[in-house]
Amino acid sequence: MNRDIVLLRTVEVAAIASYKYIGKKDKDLVDKAAVEAFEVMLKNEKGFKLKVVNGEGELDQAPMLFVGQILGDLEDPSVMTYDVSVDPIEGTHPAAYNFAGSISTIAFSRENTMLQLPEMYMEKLFVSTELKESINLNKGIIESIKMMQLTANRRDLKCIILDKPRHKDIIKEMNDMGIIVRLIQDGDVLAAIDVVNGDADFVYGIGGAPEGSLMAALAISAGCKMQSKLVRYEQIWPNEQETEVRKNKEKAWLDKYNLDFDSILEDLDLVNDHRARFFAAGLTAGGSLKPVDYKNGKFYVNAFMSSHGIVRNFNSVYDVKKVNDLKPEIKFLFDKYKR
């Protein structure tokens, strides 16, 4: 089967499997359903292999979708291997409490082109195609915003940013600059999809580093632009008991991955492949992606794909009875995660 269709179907089925636990206040169950769906959908595919570069964690932390895990055609040594970053559910908390902000997503690139990122904080700026030549995080976010306003010839650019205490000052500054700020609780990858789909001009904020790989693949594949920089834990949580422990962990991580806190990482530093691809499907979604719905024996799924500067938004309908008759591996998931 076509590789792109396999990956598109994987994120769609992961969202469908997790639908059972929307609003059940257990984010681990949401994630577990999606992780199993990923493995079931990918483990026996022929014609290619996928190597998890950024996943659910190391082997001892995550029994499935762990860093280094190989999925796909394990029997044929001649097939191509691709790097993947996966987030079976980005936004498990909003899914567990049934508010906007959760998707299933995967990105892939040629083997050995994707940078493995540590479990750290990262400052990320993701901008639309129109503004891709206007940013320079070396000069700081305020100067980048001024450059974007100059390029667009308007002040009222639309920004999506996580509504977190660490962003309080920059949110105020952006409001003072005339920026229209949309606050979200979770999901900067989903927010970046909104930029690609034209619902916003840029995403900015400090979030998880591994998600940066997904956003970089999205930027490259959709013709947008992303810049990023790793951020110290103590900058976000200066007075926490865990801060000293995290400082030691961060030093070890930086040494392991040959990274630092000063370098600006371009999207191609994170995913060095102009042919990278990105896939996502809405769970509780929000913005330009719609949430999964179920009615009269059918699942309705809104999905997204980008590659080579081409952006596609899909509306898929899964007729449970017909799928169960034709696809036993999906029937297993539909039976197990029937709401």
pLDDT one-digit tens code per residue, 291-302: 999 999 999 999
Tokens of 225: 């632009």
Of 221, 252, 270, the residue at which a domain comes to its end is 270
Task: Give the up-direction half-sphere exposure of residue 315: CA atoms within 13 A in the CB hemisphere.
Answer: 5
Query: What pLDDT does residue 328 have?
Result: 87
- Asked whether residue 136 falls in the same domain as residue 239, the answer is yes
pLDDT band of residue 1 (cuts 50, 70, 90) is low
What single DSSP character describes residue 226? E
Q: What is the mean pLDDT of residues 173-181?
A: 97
- Asked whether residue 245 falls in the same domain as residue 292, the answer is no
Query: What pLDDT does residue 329 have?
Result: 85
Query: What pLDDT does residue 290 have?
Result: 95
Is the model's pLDDT at 179 over the cut of 90? yes
- Asked whether residue 247 falls in the same domain as residue 316, the answer is no
- Asked whether residue 152 falls in the same domain as residue 49, the answer is no
SS3 195: helix
Query: What pLDDT does residue 45 have?
Result: 86
- Asked whether residue 263 falls in the same domain as residue 134, the answer is yes
Is the model's pLDDT at 59 over the cut of 80? no
Give percent of the chain with pLDDT exceeding 90. 81
CA separation for the pair 122, 257 (Å, rounded): 14
Q: Which amino acid is at 101?
A: G
* 229 domain-assigned: yes
Indicate which CATH number applies to the domain containing 238. 3.40.190.90
Q: What is the mean pLDDT of residues 113-134?
A: 95
- Asked whether residue 106 falls in the same domain as residue 35, the answer is yes
Of 270, 293, 315, the residue at which a domain comes to its end is 270
Query: What pLDDT does residue 60 have?
Result: 57
- Asked whether residue 92 falls in the same domain as residue 173, the answer is no
- Asked whether residue 82 falls in the same domain as residue 27, the answer is yes
* 158 domain-assigned: yes
Is the model's pLDDT at 285 over the cut of 80? yes
Nearest to 304 by CA among 161, 186, 197: 197
Query: What pLDDT does residue 61 have?
Result: 66
pLDDT band of residue 213 (cuts 50, 70, 90) is very high
Is the model's pLDDT at 73 over the cut of 90? no
Q: What is the mean pLDDT of residues 280-288?
A: 94
- Asked whether residue 93 falls in the same domain as residue 130, the answer is no
* 305 domain-assigned: yes
Tally of domains within the chain = 2
Indicate which CATH number applies to the domain containing 77. 3.30.540.10
Q: What is the mean pLDDT of the chain?
A: 94
Rounded-to-10 torsion of CA 200, 205, 210, 213: 40
Of 247, 270, 293, the residue at which a domain comes to its end is 270
Between 116-130, 186-200, 242-256, the lowest mean confidence (pLDDT) is in 242-256
Q: What is the mean pLDDT of residues 42-67?
A: 82
Is the model's pLDDT at 200 over the cut of 90? yes
- Asked whether residue 214 falls in the same domain as residue 139, the answer is yes
Nearest to 4 by CA among 87, 106, 114: 106
Per the structure, the complete domain to which residue 8 belongs is given by: 3-111+274-336
Query: What pLDDT does residue 43 have?
Result: 85
Tokens of 55: 């996943």
- Asked whether residue 75 falls in the same domain as residue 63, the answer is yes
* 116 domain-assigned: no
Q: What is the mean pLDDT of residues 74-96?
A: 93
Query: Rounded to the nearest 5 degrees, what angle is found at the Cα of 302, between the Cα atoms of 297 and 307?
Result: 140
65 Ramachandran zone, left/alpha/beta (phi>0; psi -120 to 50): left
The predicted-structure confidence for 5-25, as pLDDT tens digits, reads as follows 999 999 999 999 999 999 999
Tokens of 31: 């994630």
Name 105's bridge partners: 87, 280
- Asked whether residue 211 falls in the same domain as residue 323, the answer is no
